[in-house]
Copies of this chain bind each other. A is one copy, B any other.
Amino acid sequence: MKFIHTADWHLGKIVHGVSMIEDQRFVLKKLIKIIEIEKPDALVIAGDLYDRSVPPASAINLLNQVLFTINVEMNVPVIAISGNHDSADRLAFGSTWFRQSHFYLAGKLEKEMYCPVINGVHFHCLPYAEPGVVRHLYEDESIQSHHDAMKVLTGRLSEQMDPNAFHVAVGHSFVTGGETSDSERILSVGGTGNVGAELFSPFHYTALGHLHNPNAIRHEKVQYSGSLLKYSFSEASHTKSISIIELDEKGQLSVTQEPLTPLRDMKEIKGFFDEIMEMDEVDDYIKVTLKDEGAILDPMAKLKMKFPNILHLERAALKAGSTISAAELKKQKNELELFGEFYEVMTGLSFSAEKEAYIASVMDDVKKGREYA
């Protein structure tokens, strides 16, 4: 059994005001080429097919074309689930028809999910759902977090599983310890939204979506494929790829990452203006950080002549506050420090020791569940 694992296509995505649709069309052609060569038994898309719940018509057309080519023209079964960026209801339209041609599209989480079996491998679809949705579906008040919800879902699946068959889970979750980037939407405001990798132990492989780095976690059987393209400059160092999964008759797993070459790469350039203007022209998406401290006359217009697809320009000498990367910040700071940074950026006032003590006491109250009228 061989299948391709991909996720986070985010069709219709706009980065710094620029539509990625042509880049997406280009890289999906590459995917089709890989499918032609690899001849997999199935294609798995682990959520976030679209970038938003009401995607633009161009994104709908592109998804329709690509999946029709793969599923109908190339006769490859497709298993796709909705992610936190998709509208489960909108995505699900027609899924009962699609099933007839082995296109298994799991939009909305239901109590009994359809489980396609391909070459003896059972694919268990776990479309993205808020903990409240799972709590309501199973009438289980103990479900409070994403972890609780996934525990109930995978627990029920493992009870019903044929122990002699192979099982693959397809999910869209933030697995504990995963490395984040700036283009993922946080799953749980005020909470971590994460899920322990151990919940997926009943499966021979878990094909995940949500985190955009294909190496977001190091786990033999629980893996992210990463996104189709770099969708923020925090992902500039990633090598985007699709994963080719092989499961042999003994259940032995092999995972190969096949790189996806984009139409245009996404790169960060840091240096002095004069140095940068000496560089070769490139067509890639560029973020320039200038080290110069003095005034430069209309640097963006000049840089555009060199880098026609420059998306963002920053001055390193300016206060970091306005260009701070959320992912970077989160790695280093605790909540109180983050709040202080935010307060200073937003108000321009200093976050004094007195203010800090007050906010610390509020945070403490909230954590202990004290109520405010």
Contacts and interface: CB of A to CB of B under 8 A. Distances in A.
Contacts of A63: 93
Nearest to A100: B101
Contact of A97 (B54, B57, B97): B97
Q: Is the interface of A mostly helix, strand, loop or mixed?
A: helix
A103 B101 CA distance: 14
B72 A89 contact: no
Contact of A68 (B64, B87, B97, B103): B97
A61 interface: yes
Contacts of A64: 92-94, 96
Interface residues of A, number: 21
Question: Copies per complex?
Answer: 2
A304 B100 CA distance: 49
Contacts of A94: 64, 93-94, 97-98
Nearest to A55: B90
Contacts of A87: 57
A60 B93 contact: yes
A72 to B, nearest CB: 7
A72 B97 CA distance: 8
A68 B96 contact: yes
Given A54-B54, A57-B87, A97 B103 contact: yes
Nearest to A73: B96
Interface in A61-116: 61, 63-64, 68, 71-72, 87, 89-90, 92-94, 96-98, 100-101, 103
A68 to B, nearest CB: 5
30 contacts: A54-B54, A57-B87, A57-B89, A57-B90, A60-B89, A60-B90, A60-B92, A60-B93, A61-B89, A61-B92, A63-B93, A64-B92, A64-B93, A64-B94, A64-B96, A68-B96, A68-B97, A71-B97, A72-B96, A72-B97, A72-B100, A93-B94, A94-B94, A94-B97, A94-B98, A97-B98, A97-B100, A97-B101, A100-B100, A100-B101
